[in-house]
A = this chain, B = another copy of it.
Amino acid sequence: MSNTRAGTVSNFDTWKHAYAARAANLSVSEVRALFAVVSRPEVVSLAGGMPDVSALDGELIEQAFRSLMSNRRNYALQYGGGQGDLRLREQIQEIMALEGIQGSVENLMITTGSQHALELLADLFLDQGDAVLVEAPSYVGAVGIFRHKEAHIEHVFTDDDGISPVALAEAADRLIEQGRKVKLLYLVPNFANPSGVTLTAERRAQVLQVCRERGILIVEDNPYGLLYFDQKPPEALRAMDSEGVVYLGSFSKILSPGLRVGYVLAPPAIREKLILANESAILSPATFAQMMVSEYLSLSDWQGQIDTYRKLYASKRDAALEALAQYLPRVQTTRPQGGFFLWLTLPEGLNSKEMLPLAVDELVAYTPGTAFYGDGRGANNIRICFSHPTAENVKVGIQRLSNVVNPQLDRLVTLQAKH
């Protein structure tokens, strides 16, 4: 791909005159550039954001496939409805109930991963210049979608207790006063990507109130909620408000991202529009993948499999925190109680993006913090994904990272002493 980067090719682009205005907002994500690096086996990748699918019992997948072929073969191979399979939606009801959500099958739609649910929602709500409120930092894939829709992305102050309701109200009011339509609040309330923090129960109620008072629709993205380490996170926002929240769920982290099966639970009118948009974009979600998930849920101890994942990721989180304490004691980190990520804050003056090539020379990769902001912030942050490498490699990776960061910290201290 080295000779076909967009930057090079567009000099010879015959069709440059013909693109839509929104095409200018498509940019190469910082995560994407790392994919090539990840594939080198000698590099420990703390980038990515991938589940450890080697911990999935292959026999369960084979069982699901055999049952599919015996009982629903022609159905699985055929086009389906745009809303997705009814039986799978019934099974999803049970999964959502684990987080306190009572939703009807009529208001559920299956999507090509929850990413596509977010894409369809953004397309449904965002005109150019409309404001979207997001956490600081926020999920890179969401920032990318909102940028592509030419929206105004406003990061709201977020700390160890999640997004701040006070800052949220302040930001919304300021934007409304400026004449912006504040359409959406997008957030990952449990074990957030990238920060790892969880929104407290108290703040959930406050966030709901802030948004309700201002007519702002909440998009609650919850791929990690069931992957808690010690105790369950607070009840979902959707459990407290069925009219003001659109809820996104996914099988990517509790089963497999290669199937691309996610779902969205929305108020009826929104759900109806989402189905039309889904049909327009892809005709129907993949029946085969839906049936694989549905048979898996029918036949397997899927909650047991989630417990396996929870223990595995908890041990990797422990490995990461131990290694950070040992090798990078001067770097601040979040202490996630679930999920895949932790978020490092380096002293001001260090630049994680500039450090990345040095890190790759040391055979470790991570995602620079700027990827998670739409406004250039995050230069002194690093997202560490501990879910995919082995616990041992998580430690090795952090040790290698320290070989880059610590000398820079030393130099910074020396420089500051001089001034």
> Any chain B CB within 8 A of the CB of A6?
yes
Q: Determine if A78 and B56 form an interchain contact, defined as CB atoms under 8 angstroms apart.
A: no
> Any chain B CB within 8 A of the CB of A166?
no
Nearest-CB distance from A66 to chain B (Å)?
9
Q: Determine if A18 and B215 form an interchain contact, defined as CB atoms under 8 angstroms apart.
A: yes
Q: Determine if B260 and A286 form an interchain contact, defined as CB atoms under 8 angstroms apart.
A: yes
Nearest-CB distance from A313 to chain B (Å)?
16
- Once bound together, how far apart are the Cα atoms of A69 and B126, in whole Å? 42
Q: Determine if A19 and B288 form an interchain contact, defined as CB atoms under 8 angstroms apart.
A: no
- Once bound together, how far apart are the Cα atoms of A327 and B258, in whole Å? 49
Q: Determine if B6 and A273 form an interchain contact, defined as CB atoms under 8 angstroms apart.
A: yes
Q: Determine if A287 and B258 form an interchain contact, defined as CB atoms under 8 angstroms apart.
A: yes
List A residues 243-258 near B (Cβ within 8 Å).
Answer: 243-244, 252, 256-258
> Any chain B CB within 8 A of the CB of A417?
no
Using CB atoms and an 8 Å cutoff, list the residues of chain A in contact with chain B.
Answer: 1, 4-6, 9-10, 12-23, 26-29, 32, 35, 48-51, 53-54, 56, 58, 61-62, 65, 69, 73-82, 106, 112-113, 115-116, 119, 123-127, 130, 141, 144-145, 148, 181, 183, 215, 217, 243-244, 252, 256-260, 267-270, 272-273, 276-277, 279-289, 291-292
In the complex, which of the residues A58, A69, A272 has the most CB atoms of chain B within 10 Å of its own CB atom? Answer: A272
A23-B273, A50-B79, A69-B62 as given contacts; A14 in contact with B286, CB under 8 Å: no
Q: How many copies does the complex hold?
A: 2
**CB-defined contacts of A73 to chain B, threshold 8 Å:** 58, 61
- Once bound together, how far apart are the Cα atoms of A119 and B20, in whole Å? 13
With A10-B269, A53-B78 given, name 19 new contacts (CB 8 A): A6-B273, A13-B267, A13-B269, A14-B267, A18-B183, A18-B215, A22-B123, A23-B125, A32-B82, A56-B77, A61-B73, A75-B258, A77-B257, A78-B258, A112-B286, A119-B281, A145-B280, A258-B287, A260-B286
**CB-defined contacts of A215 to chain B, threshold 8 Å:** 17-18
Q: Determine if A288 and B292 form an interchain contact, defined as CB atoms under 8 angstroms apart.
A: yes
Q: Determine if A76 and B258 form an interchain contact, defined as CB atoms under 8 angstroms apart.
A: yes
Q: Determine if A127 and B257 form an interchain contact, defined as CB atoms under 8 angstroms apart.
A: no
A26-B273, A258-B78, A270-B15 as given contacts; A280 in contact with B119, CB under 8 Å: yes
Select from chain B the residue with minimum beta-carbon distance to A276.
Answer: B26
Select from chain B the residue with minimum beta-carbon distance to A291.
Answer: B258
23 examples of A-B residue contacts, CB within 8 angstroms: A4-B268, A6-B272, A6-B273, A10-B269, A13-B270, A14-B243, A15-B267, A22-B123, A23-B124, A28-B276, A53-B74, A53-B77, A53-B78, A54-B74, A78-B258, A113-B282, A115-B281, A119-B280, A148-B277, A258-B286, A258-B287, A288-B289, A288-B292
